[in-house]
């Protein structure tokens, strides 16, 4: 579909980031893509090529934009050849929309699908890049993402081979698995001997604390404080070249950068040391150039480009780390973190917390306040009616009535709720050792280092499943207290398991945090049994983006 | 043996042989002088009808009968014709019998005489009647052209998707064409017409008739026959002076012109391959005219009918079914007497070897260097033979030669040829009656070829052949089984249950089986119950749903769609149900399906707000109704009635026993009312839309303390919050005296840190210092540092014996105040000496609190 002459791509903006992970601009250029526009902005009449390709998700409002573009081009009597590529699938709803808008005839026969459900973020991380999936599932009760997920996992099988066995926890996870079974019936299993040994599907609903808790790994903090979009961050460039050159600098964060892959998963308090150490070795290597034989000299020169690269990335990450440290050392951050950790330890969770009250009083960012309330509600297994009503009233009084639906959505999602008689979180904290007091941050022995005290429940479950004797069967009681059904190691396809290394895919329905990914990587490195781990998720989330997705702020415009 | 084989050959000029051989002995009971025989190409079936002209003269108006025979003369079916009068019969490329009636209707029948479909050649054909028609192979399939009594041509390129085209008029429309034929290339179909002696090319209406000339050296007055070759590259003309003219399709190149010495119009006139034409005067003469001007005549003594094939002509007569073709080059090379080709020697060597003669070796030596070619020749030549004996002879020779060379390609070719011949022999059997030549077999793709067997209901043979030829299951066995099932479904005398079970038993879950196709056939046969039963076996949800919708089983479709998890399918069913049910029935119905309902709700939210709300009403979902009302209240058109709408939202929440939201809504409505009153009273705008806090702050800024106090009371604003607002407002107004008064009025519930902060925020360092001493102990160090009072900060930290705090102070003043920094170093030293290790404040604090739990 990319053959045949010069062409212009008109993007659904939501796809630009994800697609750039697979096809960066220069690759598109090689395929004679001359110009690019975004669907939402202005007119495409300046496009020079005759071929126009719309690359879009199957969203009705995108169809409206496409129709507008086509109509306006027709009015101007521009002769164009249109093509629509749906990612990952077209829907009848969208086709009907195009028909109703009277442009279906213009694109009929030129509608294609690009069944790309997963985008690779990293060697070991793939994401559907659908940040709204969890909200759509819980608030709109629209399970489209479940279907996409099952389709995506099925495609994954076509590429990597069949899945040996499946474990899942939670309603959405079970649903994905059920659909996966159905698809297998329709398509048949891929005929390969080896593949994915174990697929673990986890519903975000079983652990709502991890996404709202502050992440304390390097990458997690960058995501929380700066925001990582499809592995890219954008920072004011004056930070990097001594105040000259205003504007923005885009940095790509992935494991191709050796230094970053070394420090991304570390607790932030260990990052400074790591950077210093690295700087010292590099300095020493530079020093070593004095007084050497010719041969040593040659080796040195050969290593020089690589050393320069490390030096560069050292400079970048030192700058980023300094920016982050400025925030993490500030009192507002420390105080808030302190309260968060108290909640995790079960301190003062059952009453109106003065710190939250004061935060509201000072009208700090509402997302921060909501996150704290969510953490309190979750760690207390729900708030007393009185406490909850008080918080809600305070928020409405201070931030305005327009936030009322946001509160209602958070309640529907279970992020804030009224306490029931049972208090499962206290039990879970103990049985799964979710809070570990003396976890060292710089030289950790437990995954709890990613939040300094708290080990994400999801990753703890993976640890039990894969490494602990008895697997999930040994902790059946615990699993029963979690929401939704459990599936434990159900055989799926016949495959040969290799002793050398096992491939495990952990799929998060509803998104996962960088801290969770770090915890899983840590887990695999810690244990002796060789496991190759791949994290799959509907999206990478953090407390801010996660909470914001549930917001529906009304306005009077 | 060679001699016997070449005995059938008939030389036409130098190095050019034609052969005529028997395919079948026919035992049909046909008198060829009063019937019209039409055979389909590629060894297809034969339709026979009593000849219209002779028949009518003899017997008046009784209805004719059409007999359909296989190529081997087995009767397949009969059609008792009771429709209009037939102008022309023909076969389509999918082996359907096509009949053109004089009223321009074209009807099609399958092999078994079952009516399939029909279409009309237009109003003019209907009114003015069709006087002539011809079928032809077009670029799209099988086409048909009719000539009306007003001498207009109409053309359809594909009888399966008839799209009628009017052809431009002849130069003169007064007289009928004396002869015509259709020329079809990859893009379009044209008609070559002779009117008297003039020739012209006709295309679609857009162009006019295009006269062309052929270089004919005779004094003819009329061209009575035109025929094009199978590949449409060559054309043959027959003149009333008995001349046969051969040339290229555009008439520019002339190959030859031969005088046949016959004046009468031939009974049949066809191309034999693309190198010669056959001219038939029934019962008298069969003449072959080759491009190289050579010609020969075959003696015949009975009536026959010709069928033009791509590589020859089939001759059908009372007792025989024969093939006339040019002897293939490779066959000539192997069998020709005195041939010096390696294949010929190899054949002889193999023969001698079987006799046990040493001369075998001599022959072999002659071809030693060219053994590979020899093997190829024998192998290939075997393919062109119909006689099993000759096939064996040649294959044996190939095998013999092959054993002296090492070539895997020759091995593969040999095996391939054996396979092909086995299949060809199987289908040439008279019971099947499909006499394909190797060239025809290769030309038809395997899929088409299997379809032809299926058309003859030779399912078992088709499956065996598909397996034998190692065709992938999806294209081979599964497809044939599915076609079998489609046929089974059409047998209406069987019970639904029986048919469904039989089909499922045979097909199982074979890969590539589409139960939908079969079910669709069942629907066509008016057996929707059977279709439903079959659909249960369909694994693909999408197909299942679409078919169920076709059967108008919307409800079953909804269940399947939901099971599939494919939300788009659910949407499709929802849209279908909405069209086919009343809205209330529909809404009531989808209640049972929460997922469908949720998706419908989401859809309505964007497209139809009224229905959206009415669903919630139906469900008594008061919380959602409340949320709907709140959203409504914020719509711009409702700005004046906002309070009212909020009150109705509160009402919904009340019904839903959601008191919290109820009171929040009521409260906001009340606030709006009061804000309006305030606006009026204070003669300003900008109150409406503010939050409670915003209103309070605005009142304080306007120094309306009384109103503020009233608001505070009414909305139960806690002291802590009031303090935050009050301090912020005073700071904004920089009313430092009032701030001081306020700080002393009562003990601050939020401590004195905010007082310091607000002063600092507005650059009032002096004012800030007023409050710093009243800051709580935990915070003192921090706040002294904030005010840059490092000495005091250090002092407090030391008194609190907090080394962590000390180092914090030191880190802050290290550069600016080296003197204080030194002092701190001193203090730290003392502290460490006098106490045990202090732990990081954060953790200490934590532990302290833990102990309290």
The predicted structure's pLDDT at residue A177 = 95
Tokens representing B547 are 């078919």
Helix B692-701 to helix B705-714 angle (10° resolution) is 160
A121: pLDDT strictly greater than 80: yes
Average confidence (pLDDT) per 10 residues, chain B, 853 residues? 72 86 86 83 88 52 81 89 86 91 91 89 89 89 91 90 88 87 86 89 81 83 90 90 89 88 87 90 86 87 87 90 91 86 90 89 86 91 91 91 85 90 90 90 85 86 86 79 78 76 74 74 79 79 85 86 90 89 86 89 84 85 90 85 90 90 92 90 84 92 90 91 92 90 88 90 87 86 86 85 82 81 83 52 48 42
Among candidate residues B773, B710, B693, B765, the one with its CA nearest the CA of residue A362: B693
The answer to whether B656 and B623 are in contact (CB under 8 A) is yes
A537: pLDDT strictly greater than 90: yes
Report DSSP state, residue B327: P
The predicted structure's pLDDT at residue B795 = 87
By C-alpha distance, the chain B residue nearest A144 is B567
In order, the DSSP letters of B536-563 are TT---HHHHHHHHHHTT-HHHHHHHHHH
The answer to whether the CB atoms of A398 and B668 lie below 8 A apart is: no
| Residue B247 phi, psi dihedral angles, 5° rounding | -160, 180
| B residues 592..651 contacting A (CB < 8 A) | 594-595, 598-599, 601-603, 606, 623, 627, 630-631, 634, 636, 639
B717 interaction partners in chain A (CB closer than 8 Å): 397
The predicted structure's pLDDT at residue A378 = 93
The answer to whether the CB atoms of A91 and B571 lie below 8 A apart is: yes
Handedness of CA B746, B747, B750, B754 (dihedral sign): positive
**A344 interfaces chain B, CB cutoff of 8 Å:** no
Coil, strand or helix: which one is B769? helix
- Cβ-nearest to B602 among A89, A142, A334: A142
Q: Where are the domains of chain A?
A: 7-116, 120-209+437-545, 230-328, 331-424
Which secondary structure element, helix H or strand E, spans residue B155, and what is its range? strand B153-156
Question: A299 to chain B, minimum CA–CA distance in Å?
Answer: 43
Among candidate residues B771, B711, B704, the one with its CA nearest the CA of residue B736: B771
B563 interaction partners in chain A (CB closer than 8 Å): 182
Among candidate residues B137, B184, B96, B95, the one with its CA nearest the CA of residue B436: B95
By C-alpha distance, the chain B residue nearest A362 is B724
| Residue B53 phi, psi dihedral angles, 5° rounding | -65, -50
Among candidate residues B791, B786, B801, B713, the one with its CA nearest the CA of residue B753: B786
Among candidate residues B590, B589, B576, the one with its CA nearest the CA of residue B546: B576
Residue B348: count of CB within 10 angstroms of its CB: 21
Helix (DSSP H) and strand (DSSP E) numbers for chain B: 36, 29
The answer to whether the CB atoms of A342 and B511 lie below 8 A apart is: no
Query: Alpha-carbon distance A85 to A177, whole Å?
Result: 28
Rg (CA), chain A: 26
B664 interaction partners in chain A (CB closer than 8 Å): 392-393, 396, 401, 404
Q: Residue A516 — pLDDT band, cuts 50, 70, 90?
A: very high
Report DSSP state, residue A256: T
CA distances from B19 to A40, B12, B22, B322, B439 (A): 74, 10, 10, 10, 16
By C-alpha distance, the chain B residue nearest A407 is B661
Q: Report the side by side order of strands in the sheet with B254-259.
A: B223-228, B234-239, B243-248, B254-259
The answer to whether the CB atoms of A142 and B567 lie below 8 A apart is: yes
CA distances from A231 to A250, A258, A505 (A): 10, 15, 20
The predicted structure's pLDDT at residue B852 = 44
**A334 interfaces chain B, CB cutoff of 8 Å:** yes
Report DSSP state, residue B837: P
Tokens representing B412 are 């593969």
Q: Residue A242 — pLDDT band, cuts 50, 70, 90?
A: low
Query: Alpha-carbon distance A385 to B821, whole Å?
Result: 52
pLDDT digits (tens, 9 = 90+) for B156-208: 999 888 988 888 888 888 888 999 999 988 788 889 999 888 889 888 777 78
The predicted structure's pLDDT at residue B514 = 73
The answer to whether the CB atoms of B849 and A347 lie below 8 A apart is: yes
**A553 interfaces chain B, CB cutoff of 8 Å:** no
Query: Alpha-carbon distance A316 to A299, whole Å?
Result: 26
Q: Residue A496 — pLDDT band, cuts 50, 70, 90?
A: confident
The answer to whether the CB atoms of B571 and A92 lie below 8 A apart is: yes
| A residues 348..387 contacting B (CB < 8 A) | 348, 354, 357-358, 360-363
Say if strands B9-11 and B17-25 run parallel, antiparallel, or are unpaired: antiparallel
**A347 interfaces chain B, CB cutoff of 8 Å:** yes
The answer to whether the CB atoms of B668 and A354 lie below 8 A apart is: no
Which secondary structure element, helix H or strand E, spans residue B244, and what is its range? strand B243-248
By C-alpha distance, the chain A residue nearest B601 is A140
Greatest Cα pair distance, chain B, in angstroms, is 140
Query: Alpha-carbon distance B228 to B180, whole Å?
Result: 10
| A residues 427..446 contacting B (CB < 8 A) | none
Query: Alpha-carbon distance A299 to B801, whole Å?
Result: 56
Among candidate residues B560, B592, B590, the one with its CA nearest the CA of residue A182: B560
Report, in this order, helix, strand and coil percent for chain A, each rounded to 5: 50, 15, 35
Query: Alpha-carbon distance B422 to A394, whole Å?
Result: 89
Greatest Cα pair distance, chain A, in angstroms, is 79
- Cβ-nearest to B693 among A91, A398, A404: A398
Return the residue in B567, B717, B782 with the most chain A beta carbons within 10 A, the one to mutate for interface testing: B567
Question: Looking at domain A7-116, does it have CATH number 3.40.50.2060?
Answer: yes
The answer to whether the CB atoms of A362 and B724 lie below 8 A apart is: yes
Q: How many CA atoms lie within 13 A of A531 on its CB side?
A: 24
- Cβ-nearest to B691 among A92, A334, A399: A399
Query: Alpha-carbon distance B48 to B91, whole Å?
Result: 12
A2: pLDDT strictly greater than 70: no
Percent of the residues in chain A that have a pLDDT greater than 90, as a whole number: 46
Question: B591 to chain A, minimum CA–CA distance in Å?
Answer: 14
Tokens representing B845 are 């604090």
Question: B294 to chain A, minimum CA–CA distance in Å?
Answer: 51
Report, in this order, helix, strand and coil percent for chain B, each rounded to 5: 50, 20, 30
Question: B598 to chain A, minimum CA–CA distance in Å?
Answer: 6
**A182 interfaces chain B, CB cutoff of 8 Å:** yes
Among candidate residues B537, B586, B603, the one with its CA nearest the CA of residue A91: B603
H-type helices in B591-718, by residue range? 594-607, 609-618, 622-633, 642-655, 659-682, 692-701, 705-714
Q: Report the side by side order of strands in the sheet with A125-127.
A: A119-122, A125-127, A531-537, A502-509, A196-203, A163-169, A486-491
B665 interaction partners in chain A (CB closer than 8 Å): 404
pLDDT digits (tens, 9 = 90+) for B406-424: 878 888 899 999 999 999 9
Which secondary structure element, helix H or strand E, spans residue A260, and what is its range? helix A258-263
Question: B661 to chain A, minimum CA–CA distance in Å?
Answer: 8
Select A331-424's CATH number: 1.25.40.850, 3.40.640.10, 3.40.50.1000, 1.10.1130.10: 1.25.40.850
Among candidate residues B232, B270, B266, the one with its CA nearest the CA of residue B249: B232
Class of domain A230-328: alpha beta
Query: Alpha-carbon distance A511 to A280, whole Å?
Result: 38
Query: Alpha-carbon distance B560 to B576, whole Å?
Result: 14
Class of domain A120-209+437-545: alpha beta
Query: Alpha-carbon distance B508 to B497, whole Å?
Result: 16
A405 interaction partners in chain B (CB closer than 8 Å): 627, 630-631
A461: pLDDT strictly greater than 90: yes
The answer to whether the CB atoms of B721 and A555 lie below 8 A apart is: no
The answer to whether the CB atoms of A358 and B690 lie below 8 A apart is: no
The answer to whether A407 and A364 are in contact (CB under 8 A) is no
Query: Alpha-carbon distance A150 to A177, whole Å?
Result: 7
A417 interaction partners in chain B (CB closer than 8 Å): none
Do the domains spanning A7-116 and A120-209+437-545 agree at the CATH topology level? yes
| Residue A454 phi, psi dihedral angles, 5° rounding | -105, 130
The answer to whether the CB atoms of B634 and A555 lie below 8 A apart is: yes
The answer to whether B693 and A397 are in contact (CB under 8 A) is yes
Return the residue in B566, B606, B688, B751 with the most chain A beta carbons within 10 A, the one to mutate for interface testing: B566
CA distances from B634 to A557, B638, B643, B654 (A): 8, 7, 10, 20
Return the residue in A61, A351, A393, A395 with the most chain B beta carbons within 10 A, the one to mutate for interface testing: A393
**A467 interfaces chain B, CB cutoff of 8 Å:** no
The answer to whether the CB atoms of A92 and B568 lie below 8 A apart is: yes
Tokens representing A208 are 């709502």
A vs B, Cβ pairs < 8 A, gives 130
A353 interaction partners in chain B (CB closer than 8 Å): none
B725 interaction partners in chain A (CB closer than 8 Å): 361
Residue that has been written with the tokens 């992440």 in this structure? A215
By C-alpha distance, the chain B residue nearest A418 is B660
The answer to whether the CB atoms of B511 and A185 lie below 8 A apart is: no
Say if strands B86-91 and B97-101 run parallel, antiparallel, or are unpaired: antiparallel
Which secondary structure element, helix H or strand E, spans residue B147, and what is its range? strand B141-148
Report DSSP state, residue A447: G
Which secondary structure element, helix H or strand E, spans residue A112, and what is its range? strand A111-113
- Cβ-nearest to A358 among B623, B720, B850: B720
CA A503 centroid distance within chain? 21
**A13 interfaces chain B, CB cutoff of 8 Å:** no
Residue that has been written with the tokens 């939202």 in this structure? B649
By C-alpha distance, the chain A residue nearest B727 is A362
């Amino acid at each position: 579909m990319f053959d045949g002459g010069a062409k212009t791509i008109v993007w659904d903006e939501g796809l630009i980031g994800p697609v750039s992970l697979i096809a960066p601009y220069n690759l598109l250029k090689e395929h004679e893509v001359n110009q690019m526009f975004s669907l939402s902005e202005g007119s495409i009449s300046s496009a020079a090529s005759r071929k126009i390709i719309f690359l879009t998700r199957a969203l009705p409002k995108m169809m409206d934009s496409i129709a507008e573009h086509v109509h306006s081009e027709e009015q101007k009597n521009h002769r164009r050849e249109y093509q629509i590529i749906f990612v990952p699938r077209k829907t009848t709803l969208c086709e009907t929309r195009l028909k109703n808008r009277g442009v279906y005839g213009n694109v009929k026969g030129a509608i294609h699908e690009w069944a790309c459900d997963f985008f690779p973020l990293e060697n070991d991380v793939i994401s559907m890049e659908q940040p709204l999936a969890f909200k759509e599932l819980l608030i709109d009760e629209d399970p489209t993402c479940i279907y996409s997920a099952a389709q995506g996992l099925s495609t994954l099988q076509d590429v990597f081979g069949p899945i040996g066995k499946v474990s899942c926890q939670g309603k959405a996870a079970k649903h994905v698995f059920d659909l996966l079974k159905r698809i297998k019936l329709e398509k048949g299993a891929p005929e390969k001997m080896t593949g994915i040994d174990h697929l673990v599907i986890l519903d975000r609903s079983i652990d709502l604390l991890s996404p709202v808790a502050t992440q304390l790994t390097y990458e997690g903090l960058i995501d929380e404080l700066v925001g990582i979009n499809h592995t890219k961050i954008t920072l004011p460039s004056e930070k990097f070249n001594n105040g000259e050159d205003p504007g923005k600098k885009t940095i790509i964060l992935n494991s191709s950068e050796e230094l970053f892959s070394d420090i991304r998963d570390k607790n932030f308090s260990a990052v400074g040391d790591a950077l210093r150490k690295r700087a010292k070795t590099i300095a020493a290597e530079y020093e070593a150039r004095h007084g050497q034989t010719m041969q040593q000299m040659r080796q040195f020169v050969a290593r020089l480009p690589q050393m320069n690269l490390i030096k560069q990335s050292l400079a970048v990450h030192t700058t980023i780390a300094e920016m982050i440290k400025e925030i993490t050392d500030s009192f507002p951050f420390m105080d808030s973190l302190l309260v968060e950790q108290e909640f995790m330890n079960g301190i003062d969770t059952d009453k109106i917390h003065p710190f939250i009250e004061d935060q509201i009083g000072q009208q700090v960012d509402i997302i921060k306040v909501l996150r704290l309330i969510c953490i309190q509600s979750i760690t207390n297994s729900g708030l007393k009616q009185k406490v909850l009503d008080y918080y809600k009233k305070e928020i409405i009084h201070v931030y305005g009535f327009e936030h009322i639906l946001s509160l209602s959505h958070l309640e529907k999602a279970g992020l804030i709720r009224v306490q029931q008689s049972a208090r499962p979180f206290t039990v879970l904290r103990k049985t799964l050792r979710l809070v570990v007091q003396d976890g060292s941050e710089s030289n950790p022995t437990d995954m709890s280092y990613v939040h300094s005290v708290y080990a994400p429940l999801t990753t703890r479950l993976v640890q039990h499943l894969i490494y602990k004797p008895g697997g999930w069967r040994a902790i059946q009681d615990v699993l029963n207290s979690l929401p939704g059904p459990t599936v434990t190691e159900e055989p799926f396809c016949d495959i040969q398991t290799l002793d050398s290394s096992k491939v495990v895919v952990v799929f998060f329905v509803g998104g996962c945090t960088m801290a969770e990914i770090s915890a899983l990587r840590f887990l695999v490195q810690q244990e002796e049994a060789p496991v190759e781990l791949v994290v799959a998720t509907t999206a990478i989330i953090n407390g801010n983006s996660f909470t914001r997705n549930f917001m529906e702020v009304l306005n009077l415009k | 043996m060679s001699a016997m084989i070449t005995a059938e050959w008939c030389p036409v000029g130098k190095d050019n042989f034609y052969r005529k051989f028997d395919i079948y002995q026919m035992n049909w009971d046909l008198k060829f002088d009063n019937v019209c025989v039409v055979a389909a190409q590629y060894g297809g079936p034969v339709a026979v009808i009593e000849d219209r002209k002779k028949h009518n003269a003899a017997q008046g108006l009784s209805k004719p009968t059409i007999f359909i025979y296989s190529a081997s003369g087995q009767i397949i079916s009969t059609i008792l014709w009771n429709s209009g009068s037939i102008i022309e019969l023909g076969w389509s490329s999918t082996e359907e019998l096509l009949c053109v009636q004089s009223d321009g209707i074209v009807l099609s029948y399958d092999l078994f005489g079952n009516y399939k479909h029909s279409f009309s050649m237009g109003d003019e054909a209907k009114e003015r009647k069709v006087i002539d028609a011809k079928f032809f192979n077009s670029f799209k399939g099988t086409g048909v052209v009719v000539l009306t009594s007003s001498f207009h041509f109409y053309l359809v390129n594909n009888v399966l998707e008839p799209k009628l085209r009017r052809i431009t008029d002849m130069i003169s429309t007064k007289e009928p064409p004396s002869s015509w034929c259709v020329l079809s290339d990859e893009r379009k179909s044209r008609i070559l017409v002779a009117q008297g002696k003039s020739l012209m090319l006709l295309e679609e209406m857009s162009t006019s008739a295009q006269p062309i000339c052929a270089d004919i050296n005779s004094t003819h007055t009329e061209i009575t026959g035109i025929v094009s070759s199978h590949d449409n590259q060559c054309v043959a003309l027959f003149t009333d002076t008995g001349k046969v003219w051969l040339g290229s399709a555009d008439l520019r190149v002339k190959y030859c012109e031969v005088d046949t010495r016959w004046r009468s119009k031939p009974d049949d006139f066809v191309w034999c391959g693309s190198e010669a034409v056959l001219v038939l005067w029934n019962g008298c003469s069969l003449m072959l005219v080759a491009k190289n001007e050579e010609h020969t005549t075959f003696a015949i003594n009975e009536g026959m009918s010709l069928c033009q094939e791509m590589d020859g002509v089939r001759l059908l007569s009372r007792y025989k079914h024969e093939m006339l073709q040019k002897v293939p080059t490779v066959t000539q090379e192997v069998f020709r007497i005195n041939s010096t080709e390696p294949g010929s020697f190899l054949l002889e060597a193999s023969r001698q070897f079987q006799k046990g003669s040493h001369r075998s070796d001599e022959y072999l030596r002659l071809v030693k260097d060219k053994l590979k070619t020899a093997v190829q020749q024998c192998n290939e030549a075997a393919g062109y033979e119909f006689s099993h004996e000759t096939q064996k002879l040649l294959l044996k020779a190939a095998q013999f030669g092959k054993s002296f060379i090492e070539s895997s390609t020759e091995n593969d070719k040999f095996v391939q040829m054996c396979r092909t011949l086995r299949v060809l022999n199987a289908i040439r059997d008279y019971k099947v009656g499909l006499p394909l030549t190797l060239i025809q077999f290769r030309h038809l793709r395997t899929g088409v070829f299997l379809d032809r067997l299926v058309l003859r209901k030779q399912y078992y043979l088709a499956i065996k052949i598909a397996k034998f030829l190692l065709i992938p299951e999806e294209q081979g066995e599964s497809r044939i089984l599915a076609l079998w099932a489609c046929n089974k479904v059409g047998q209406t005398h069987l019970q639904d249950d029986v048919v469904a079970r039989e089909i499922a038993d045979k097909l199982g879950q074979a890969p590539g089986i589409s139960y939908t196709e079969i079910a669709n056939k069942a629907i066509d046969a008016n057996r929707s119950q059977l279709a439903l039963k079959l659909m249960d076996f369909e694994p693909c949800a999408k197909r299942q749903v679409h078919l169920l919708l076709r059967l108008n089983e919307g409800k079953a479709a909804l269940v399947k769609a939901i099971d599939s998890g494919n939300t788009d399918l659910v949407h499709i069913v929802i849209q279908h149900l909405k069209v086919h049910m009343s809205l209330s029935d529909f809404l009531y119905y989808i209640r049972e399906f929460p997922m469908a309902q949720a998706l419908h709700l989401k859809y309505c939210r964007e497209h139809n707000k009224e229905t959206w709300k009415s669903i919630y009403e139906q469900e008594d979902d008061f919380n959602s109704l409340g949320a709907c009302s709140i959203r409504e209240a914020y719509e711009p058109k409702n700005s004046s009635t906002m309070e009212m709408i909020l009150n109705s939202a509160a009402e919904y929440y009340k019904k839903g026993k959601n008191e919290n939201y109820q009171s929040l809504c009521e409260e906001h409505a009340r606030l709006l009312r009061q804000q309006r009153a305030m606006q009026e009273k204070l003669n300003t705008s900008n109150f409406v839309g503010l939050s409670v806090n915003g209103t309070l702050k605005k009142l304080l800024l306007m120094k309306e303390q009384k109103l503020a106090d009233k608001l505070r009371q009414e909305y139960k604003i806690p002291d802590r919050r009031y303090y935050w607002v009050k301090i912020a407002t005073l700071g904004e107004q920089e009313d430092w005296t009032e701030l001081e008064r306020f700080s002393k009025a009562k003990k601050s519930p939020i401590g004195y840190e905010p007082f310091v902060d607000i002063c600092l925020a507005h650059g009032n360092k002096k004012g800030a210092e007023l409050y710093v001493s009243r800051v709580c102990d935990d915070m003192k160090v921090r706040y002294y540092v904030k005010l840059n009072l490092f000495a005091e900060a250090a002092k407090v930290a030391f008194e609190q014996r907090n080394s962590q705090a000390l180092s914090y102070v030191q880190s802050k003043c290290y550069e600016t105040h080296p003197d204080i920094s030194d002092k701190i170093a001193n203090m730290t030293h003392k502290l460490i000496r006098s106490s045990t290790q202090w732990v990081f404040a954060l953790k200490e604090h934590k532990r302290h609190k833990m102990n309290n739990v």
